[in-house]
Amino acid sequence: MKKAHIYIILFLVSFAGFSQSKHTVIKGETLYSISKKYNVKPDDIIKLNPDAKDGVKENTVLTLPSNAKAVASFKPTLNKYEYQVQQGETLYAISKKLGISVDEMIKNNPTSKEGVAAGQMLTYFAPKKYFSTQTQPVKTEVVAKKEIPNLHTIQAEETKYSVSKKYGISIPELEELNPHIKNVFEIGMQIRLNKNTVVPKTVVADVQPTTTKTMFYAVQQGETLFSISRKFGISVDEITKKNPAVSTGLTVGMELLLPEKKEISSTIQSDAADGLKKKLNLLETANKTKQRNLVLLMPFNINRIEKDSAKTKTEYLKTDKFLNITLDFYAGALKAIDSAKVLGLPINAKVYDAETSKYSSNVATIIKNNNFSNVDVVIGPFTNSHVETAGQLLDRNTAIISPLTNETGKGGSNVFYAMPNETIQKQQLLSYLKSKSDAIFAIHSAAKTSLSSYFASNYPEVKSSSFNDKGLFDYTVFKTTLQKGKKNFVILDSDKIMQVISVVNNLIKLKKEFDIQLVVIERNDALDFEEIPSKNLAALQMLYPSAIRENESIEASNFAKAYRKDNKVQPNQYATRGFDVTFDAILRMCQEEGFIKSAESQGSEQIESQFNYSNNNNYGVYMMYYNSDLTIKQAQ
């Protein structure tokens, strides 16, 4: 019967395939020209070929709508055109506007790979017919070369690109003459245009008291709108208003126009809300000449398995969840060690079976019977108390990492907790919410009072209310507290299914009048109940803090591919965690200053996790939300 179902599914898939025709993209074709060729809408093609929203590439095979009919008379005659970049536009936005892929735009305009600036002219090819209802071609004018002055004072709206074009100097040459403009490009700053010019000591031009000073800032690797807003002490809304192009996302090197405010120190303060460090590429600064030693204390508990005659090893693998977590984490850690060796990092790794239970461990015996004097980092075991025992027994220069538990630890100066604990996640969440809006509300079940007390003590600005003893909530009164013209964050703290359903359904109704976003401190089973459709959570863009993110990057794909090759299965969250914790530890221990000093000053990001240590705790928390397309995205 099962096979019959499979055959039916295959038949239906095959039948569906015959109802739609295909088209192979030829050189010079655009999404628009193909839609005209088959007399269909571009959006209809995108629905069947989501990747086509970014433009189409030569030799790509597109699935066409069932009503597609080739228009025999259509011949895509290519014409060369030029497009003038408008204020705030990005290469991605322009490619979508013209129906041409980003790759094709870069191919015809190599310098656009580093970004585009207002007024820049871009060359592209498209069918002449395309412009009957679209943008008209822009004619180029030959401008006589002007004599280059010695100094230039940066004006409003200017970028490094526009200045370099104005004077015929490349951006690298401009930065070589003026090293101080590599990361900051401020209005009023005077810059040299030749080697023999001396810049006056006073470099900022006089500004009228009513004028707000602004500056340009180049986006760094791993930065988000939220982290940049925190870095310069300005709101995300301020950044967005001055840089409309950020609505399509940030790219490394993108220049943002920002109000001039003092940059906040990248050193993490003890306050969890300031737990954002500049993420660095630790591989670039790693010392590849000095041997480093790593130890993994993995709680395999092999002796217990060997002595248990009631179960076979296969049965243990099927039923022992803790053993499976250990094996998955270990497989990910091995992949990190292999990757480090391929990259030329001189790592010597040893693995010990840390036989542990809730109350006992052989960690002390392992340390006593083996030489740990030259060990740089120890990862594991998985219980905080046993990790802290290792920390007490080992030299203070040896870092010990608790890799998985999110419980609050009580370790010494050399014990690090790689998983953000619950308190940190709450602090980071509230910090994020406050940076977006002051309209923050909380709805609790009558039985849950801990979070309400926490807000009252630490965040009194959060307006809390609760269901009564009968499980009822007065939404009429609650509505009067919501604020129009602002984002209203509503934190739901309940694991009772009927209460969750009630809140979700009523917030959707209220969303017709107010800008509302649902927030939870953690995802619980009630949210997965079948009577709470994911589309409703997506409609409310449910937001929550998380130690991990969804990552669709090339690096993540390469890791998954390599892991599958070695283990014949897709890496789960514990395998990826094993890789992330171990690879981050290796990179830090290979820094000149070692793991402990590196953790004090440097942030990093791996496949699914980021590591921003402060007081030996990791403050690397992501804000994730349900997107309208039912995917989970990282909030900015």
pLDDT in tens, 560-619: 898 998 888 899 999 999 999 999 999 999 999 999 999 988 889 999 999 999 889 999
Q: What is the pLDDT of residue 474?
A: 92
Once rounded to an integer, what is the mean pLDDT over residues 115-130?
68
- Which distant-in-sequence residues (6+ apart) come within 8 Å of 628 by Cβ? 538, 539, 541
Q: What is the pLDDT of residue 216?
A: 66
Asked which of 12-16, 78-82, 580-584 is least confident by mean pLDDT, the reply is 12-16
Answer whether residue 51 shows pLDDT above 70.
Answer: yes
Task: Compute CA distances 66 → 45, 70, 342, whole Å.
Answer: 10, 12, 50
Contact 403, 418 (CB under 8 A): yes
Q: Give the residue among 612, 608, 611 at the shortest CA–CA distance from 634.
A: 608
Most confident of 7-11, 556-560, 578-582: 578-582
Residues 289-331: tens digit of each pLDDT: 999 999 999 998 888 777 766 667 677 677 778 888 999 999 9
% pLDDT > 70, the chain? 76
Answer whether residue 515 shows pLDDT above 80.
Answer: yes
* Other CB atoms within 10 Å distance of the CB of residue 358: 8
Q: Write the burial class of residue 60 (CB in 10 Å: 0-12 exposed, 13-18 middle, 19+ buried).
A: middle
- Which distant-in-sequence residues (6+ apart) come within 8 Å of 70 by Cβ? 37, 38
Q: What is the pLDDT of residue 175?
A: 79
Asked which of 226-230, 447-451, 480-484, 527-531 is least confident by mean pLDDT, the reply is 226-230
Q: What is the pLDDT of residue 378?
A: 97
Q: Write the burial class of residue 613 (CB in 10 Å: 0-12 exposed, 13-18 middle, 19+ buried).
A: buried
**188 phi-psi bin (left φ>0, alpha ψ -120 to 50, beta other):** left
Distance CA 39, CA 35 (A): 6
Q: What is the pLDDT of residue 309?
A: 64
Answer whether residue 196 shows pLDDT above 70.
Answer: no
Specify the DSSP class assigned to residue 448: -
Q: What angle do CA 337, 578, 384 make, to 5 degrees?
A: 120
Distance CA 38, CA 31 (A): 11
Tell me how many helices (H) and strands (E) the chain has.
Answer: 22, 25
Distance CA 129, CA 145 (A): 36
Residues 362-421: tens digit of each pLDDT: 999 999 999 999 999 999 898 888 999 999 999 989 999 999 988 888 878 899 999 999
- Cβ burial 362-373 (10 Å sphere, 16+ → b, else e): bbeebbeeeebe
Q: If pLDDT is split at 50, 70 and 90, which confidence band does 213 have?
A: low
Answer whether residue 210 shows pLDDT above 70.
Answer: no
Q: If pLDDT is split at 50, 70 and 90, which confidence band does 90 have?
A: confident
Once rounded to an integer, what is the mean pLDDT over residues 199-203?
41
Q: The tokens of 613 are what?
A: 């240590």
Helix (H) or strand (E) holding 164: helix 160-167
Asked if residue 65 has a cis previous peptide bond (ω within 30° of 0), the answer is no
* Other CB atoms within 10 Å distance of the CB of residue 256: 21
Q: What is the pLDDT of residue 71?
A: 55
Answer whether residue 101 shows pLDDT above 90.
Answer: no
3-state DSSP call for residue 597? Answer: helix
Q: If pLDDT is split at 50, 70 and 90, which confidence band does 503 have?
A: very high
Task: Compute CA distances 379 → 293, 376, 383, 416, 630, whole Å.
Answer: 11, 10, 11, 10, 36
- When computed from its CA atoms, the radius of gyration of the chain, rounded to whole angstroms, is 29
Distance CA 435, CA 397 (A): 38
Asked which of 269-283, 360-374, 415-429 is least confident by mean pLDDT, the reply is 269-283
Q: Give the residue among 224, 257, 259, 227 at the shortest CA–CA distance from 243.
A: 257
500 versus 119: the higher-pLDDT residue is 500
Q: Which residues pair with 614 in a beta bridge?
A: 617
Q: Give the residue among 21, 435, 369, 85 at the shortest CA–CA distance from 229.
A: 435
pTM over 0.75: no
Alpha helix stretches (DSSP H) within 440-593? 450-458, 475-479, 497-510, 534-539, 554-567, 573-589
Alpha helix stretches (DSSP H) within 248-356? 302-307, 313-319, 321-342
Q: What is the pLDDT of residue 227?
A: 64
3-state DSSP call for residue 153? Answer: strand
Alpha helix stretches (DSSP H) within 23-101? 31-37, 42-48, 91-98
Q: If pLDDT is split at 50, 70 and 90, which confidence band does 128 have?
A: very low
Q: What are phi and psi of 65, to 5 degrees?
A: -60, 155
Q: If pLDDT is split at 50, 70 and 90, which confidence band does 34 have?
A: confident
Contact 210, 203 (CB under 8 A): no
Distance CA 391, CA 367 (A): 11
Q: What is the pLDDT of residue 231?
A: 65
Q: The tokens of 425 are what?
A: 């996640």
Q: What is the pLDDT of residue 247?
A: 65
Q: Give the residue among 478, 477, 474, 425 at the shortest CA–CA distance from 451.
A: 425
3-state DSSP call for residue 481? Answer: coil
Q: Give the residue among 84, 85, 108 at the shortest CA–CA distance from 30.
A: 108
Q: Give the residue among 487, 498, 505, 530 at the shortest CA–CA distance from 625.
A: 487
Residues 40/46/47/48 CA torsion (nearest 10 deg): 90
Q: Give the residue among 367, 365, 403 at the shortest CA–CA distance from 382.
A: 403
581 versus 523: the higher-pLDDT residue is 581
Most confident of 59-68, 70-79, 255-264: 59-68
Most confident of 143-157, 197-211, 543-557: 543-557
Q: What is the pLDDT of residue 161?
A: 73
% pLDDT > 90, the chain? 31
Q: Give the residue among 619, 616, 618 at the shortest CA–CA distance from 411.
A: 616
Once rounded to an integer, what is the mean pLDDT over residues 196-212?
41
Answer whether residue 199 shows pLDDT above 60.
Answer: no
Q: The tokens of 375 are what?
A: 């060990």
